[in-house]
C-alpha cells in the first residue's frame, strides 16, 4: 500500500518568508510525527499528534514553528519568518500499533533551504 508522502520534496525560500510543508500519513494511522534532520543537530523530534488529543509540541524550537492536523489525517508544518538555521530535511512519520509498541513509518522528507 501507499506509504507516507510529503510535499514538496524540495523547497527553497528567502529568509523571512513563511513556508508550509505537507504530510499525508498512511491511511488509518492514528499517530503522526514531525522530525527535523539537520547537519550538526542530527534528527530531532518536533511535534506529535495522536488521534483527537492535543498535540505534544515539546520539540518545537520556537514559536515560529506550528503544525496542525486536519480531520485526523493530513498535517501541515508551518514555519514563519524563516531563518537560515531552519534549513534542514523535515521528516514526517505515522504509526500503527504493532504488538504493544508503535512502529513509525517515515516519509521521504522535505528538504528546506533558506537563503
Partner 1 sequence: AQSVTQLDSHVSVSEGTPVLLRCNYSSSYSPSLFWYVQHPNKGLQLLLKYTSAATLVKGINGFEAEFKKSETSFHLTKPSAHMSDAAEYFCVVSRDNAGNMLTFGGGTRLMVKP
Residues engaged in binding partner 1 (CB under 8 A): 3-4, 31, 33, 35, 42-45, 48, 50, 56, 58-59, 91, 93, 95, 99-109
Q: Which is nearer to partner 1, 80 or 102 (CB)?
A: 102
Shortest spacing between CB 61 and partner 1, in angstroms: 15
Shortest spacing between CB 91 and partner 1, in angstroms: 7
Q: Which is nearer to partner 1, 82 or 110 (CB)?
A: 110
Shortest spacing between CB 11 and partner 1, in angstroms: 16
Output the CA angle 43-55-35, nearest 5 degrees: 15
Shortest spacing between CB 47 and partner 1, in angstroms: 9
- Tell me the three state secondary structure of residue 85: helix
Task: Tell me the C-alpha to C-alpha distance, in Å, between residue 13 and each of 10, 49, 74, 97, 108.
Answer: 10, 27, 23, 37, 20
Q: Is 106 exposed, middle or buried (0-12, 13-18, 19+ CB in 10 A)?
A: middle
Q: Which is nearer to partner 1, 11 or 80 (CB)?
A: 11
Q: Which is nearer to partner 1, 25 or 109 (CB)?
A: 109
Note whether 16 and 69 are within 8 A (CB).
no
Amino acid at each position: 500500500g501507499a506509504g507516507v508522502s510529503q510535499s514538496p520534496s524540495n523547497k527553497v525560500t528567502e529568509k523571512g518568508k513563511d513556508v508550509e510543508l505537507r504530510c499525508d500519513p498512511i491511511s488509518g494511522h492514528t499517530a503522526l510525527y514531525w522530525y527535523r534532520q539537520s547537519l550538526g543537530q542530527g534528527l530531532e523530534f518536533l511535534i506529535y499528534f495522536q488521534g483527537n488529543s492535543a498535540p505534544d509540541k515539546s520539540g518545537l524550537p520556537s514559536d515560529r514553528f506550528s503544525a496542525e492536523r486536519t480531520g485526523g489525517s493530513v498535517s501541515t508544518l508551518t514555519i514563519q519568518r524563516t531563518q537560515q538555521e531552519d534549513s534542514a530535511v523535515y521528516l514526517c512519520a505515522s504509526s500503527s500499533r504493532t504488538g504493544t509498541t508503535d512502529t513509525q513509518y517515515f516519509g521521504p522528507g522535505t528538504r528546506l533551504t533558506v537563503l
